[in-house]
């Protein structure tokens, strides 16, 4: 016990003497929330679309009016009226517009004569998300051309959709909070725990520790415990700050916070032991640098923190099934947004616990007690 405590204390002391690391580990995930939240707003707005109408007939006017209505409403795009179609298409090529809609001269005539009316939509399809959105909106504007007037009152004979939200509304910033907490845990576990082993090895001071009666489990468990305390503190601070910034309502604050804390602790243990398996025999911090970017991508993006797991292709879904971050995100979302009781996330917690046990055993077995 005296030995285990000594390993832990050494690590905590060294961490405390380096306040820059602490400040960075807290600030970076929060900045990440701000940048990510502002760059993927969730829905698109203000896409510039050029419109050239060479038809003066009623249907062309209707179509433009429909588009104007979208511009005035959800403001997904901004219309730029132009007269020269060549200039409009050129503008798309040069990246000035995301799309150019060309309504030909005979559009209204063909509409009345049922003669296959067509409009041209030139899209910058290198930007898949924007072009897909514009195509869909133009299609819906075209679809409503067929009805002779815009219904003012709802008609009894048309089926209507009534959508019911099961949970309180979650805005985009709030929906990122679980991801930010996970990111904080990832960064914390990467720079504590096994990383200290790598640094000691790199500086050559591991030799002096290997010469003492410390056992494998003293070293691994000690570093995991110190990494756990550091990372848990960082992740809890970040969780609190981001809940305050985004204003997530917590109906049963005490229970919810306790459950969140449990998820944070378990996820931290899980990632710390995973890092021990991955970094256990590495002797140069540069390799950790390369691995960190890679690990972040393969663990974070398929976790469902940014994009729902359900929309992944099959192979990626399978990967998400063994990705501990996916279980952590699911647990955090359930507690934060659905106000779920701890029992409902028991599946997630069980997975994290089993994963931790397997990784920790592997890392102690694989740990080399010699040089």
Partner 1 sequence: MQKEKAISVTGITKRFGEITAVDNVSFDVDEGEFFGFLGPNGAGKTTLIRMLTTLLKPTDGQAFVSSFDVVKDPAEVRRNIGVVPQAMTSDLDLTGYENMDLYGRFYGIRGRERKERISDLLDKVGLTSRSGDLVATYSGGMRRRLEIARVLVHRPKLLFLDEPTIGLDPQSRRVVWDFLEKLIEGDSMTIFLTTHYMEEAEALCGRVAIIDAGTIIALGSPAELKAQIPGSDIISLTLETLTDEVVRRVEELPFVHKVKTEDNSVRVYTDNGARNLPSLIDEVRKAGGSVQSATIHEQSLEDVFIHYTGKSIREEEAKKVSFLVGAGIPQKLGR
Give me the residues that bind partner 1 (CB under 8 A), please. 2-3, 5-6, 9-10, 13-14, 17-18, 201, 203-205, 207-215, 283, 369-371
Distance of closest approach, residue 369 Cβ to partner 1, in angstroms? 8
Residue 298: CB minimum distance to partner 1, A:
26
**In the complex with partner 1, which residue's Cβ is closer, 25 or 175?**
25
For residues 270 and 318, give the distance between their C-alpha atoms in angstroms, rounded to a whole number: 19
Question: Chain-centre distance of CA 330, in angstroms?
Answer: 12
Nearer to partner 1, 139 or 212 (CB): 212
Decide: residue 57, CB within 10 A, 0-12 exposed, 13-18 middle, 19+ buried. Answer: middle
Closer of 9 and 65 to partner 1 (Cβ)? 9
Continuous H helices in the chain: 2-16, 19-39, 58-72, 85-93, 107-113, 128-143, 172-191, 194-203, 206-210, 216-246, 253-279, 285-300, 314-322, 324-338, 346-366
d(Cα 239, Cα 177) in Å, to the nearest integer? 7
First to last CA, the chain: 25
Provide the minimum distance between the beta carbon of 235 and partner 1 in the complex, in angstroms, as a whole number: 24
- Least CB distance from residue 226 to partner 1, whole Å? 13
In the bound state with partner 1, the residue whose beta carbon lies nearer, of 14 and 86, is 14
CA proximity to 258, closest of 345, 319, 192: 345
Give the integer Cα–Cα distance in Å for 143 and 266.
Answer: 52
CB of 228 to partner 1, least distance (A): 20
Is 219 or 331 the residue whose CB approaches partner 1 more closely? 219
CB 305 within 8 A of CB 223: no
CA–CA distance, 242 with 182 (Å, rounded to integer): 12
**In the complex, what is the shortest distance from the CB of residue 205 to partner 1, in angstroms, rounded to a whole number?**
5
Distance CA 117, CA 62 (A): 14
Query: 1 vs 152, which CB is nearer to partner 1?
Result: 1
Q: How far is the CB of 190 from partner 1 (least distance, A)?
A: 19
**Rounded to an integer, what distance in angstroms lies between the CA atom of residue 268 and that of residue 230?**
10
Q: Residue 72 or residue 371: which is nearer to partner 1 going by CB? A: 371
Residue 47 has, within 13 A of its CA and on its CB side, a CA count of 26
Nearer to partner 1, 5 or 357 (CB): 5
> Contact at 8 Å (CB) between 207 and 216?
no
CA distance 354 to 331: 15
Give the residue carrying structure tokens 């959105």.
Answer: 133
The backbone region for 46, taken as left when phi is positive above 0, alpha when psi lies in -120 to 50, beta otherwise, is left
- Residue (250 or 278) nearer to partner 1, CB: 278
Least Cβ distance, residue 189 to partner 1 (angstroms): 20
- Minimum distance from residue 363 beta carbon to partner 1 (Å): 17
């Amino acid at each position: 016990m005296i030995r285990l405590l000594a390993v832990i204390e050494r690590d905590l002391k060294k961490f405390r003497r380096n306040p820059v690391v602490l400040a960075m580990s807290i600030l970076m995930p929060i900045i990440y929330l701000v940048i990510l939240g502002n760059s993927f707003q969730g829905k698109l707005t203000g896409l510039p679309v050029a419109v050239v109408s060479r038809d003066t007939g009623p249907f062309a006017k209707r179509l433009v009016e429909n588009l104007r209505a979208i511009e005035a409403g959800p403001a997904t795009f901004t219309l730029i009226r132009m007269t020269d179609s060549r200039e409009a298409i050129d503008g798309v090529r040069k990246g000035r517009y995301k799309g150019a809609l060309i309504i030909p001269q005979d559009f209204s005539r063909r509409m009345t004569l049922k003669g296959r009316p067509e409009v041209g939509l030139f899209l910058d399809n290198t930007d898949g998300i924007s072009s897909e959105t514009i195509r869909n909106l133009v299609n819906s504007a075209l679809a409503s051309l067929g009805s002779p007037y815009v219904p003012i009152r709802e008609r009894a004979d048309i089926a209507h959709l009534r959508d019911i939200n099961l949970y309180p509304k979650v805005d985009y910033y709030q929906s990122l909070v679980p991801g930010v907490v996970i990111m904080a845990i990832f960064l914390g576990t990467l720079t504590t725990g096994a990383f200290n082993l790598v640094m000691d090895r790199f500086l050559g001071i591991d030799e002096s520790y290997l010469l003492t009666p410390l056992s494998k489990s003293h070293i691994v468990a000690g570093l995991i415990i110190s990494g756990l305390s550091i990372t848990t503190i960082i992740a809890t601070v970040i969780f609190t700050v981001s809940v305050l910034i985004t204003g997530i309502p917590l109906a049963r604050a005490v229970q919810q916070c306790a459950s969140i804390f449990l998820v944070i602790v378990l996820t931290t243990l899980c990632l710390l032991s995973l890092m021990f398996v991955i970094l256990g025999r590495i002797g140069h911090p540069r390799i950790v640098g390369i691995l960190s970017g890679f690990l972040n991508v393969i663990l974070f993006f398929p976790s469902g923190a940014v994009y729902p797991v359900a929309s992944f292709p099959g192979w990626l879904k399978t990967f998400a099934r063994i990705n501990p971050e996916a279980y952590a995100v699911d647990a955090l979302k359930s507690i934060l947004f659905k106000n779920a009781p701890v029992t409902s996330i028991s599946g997630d917690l069980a997975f994290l616990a089993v994963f931790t046990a397997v990784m920790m055993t592997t890392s102690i077995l694989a740990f080399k007690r010699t040089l």
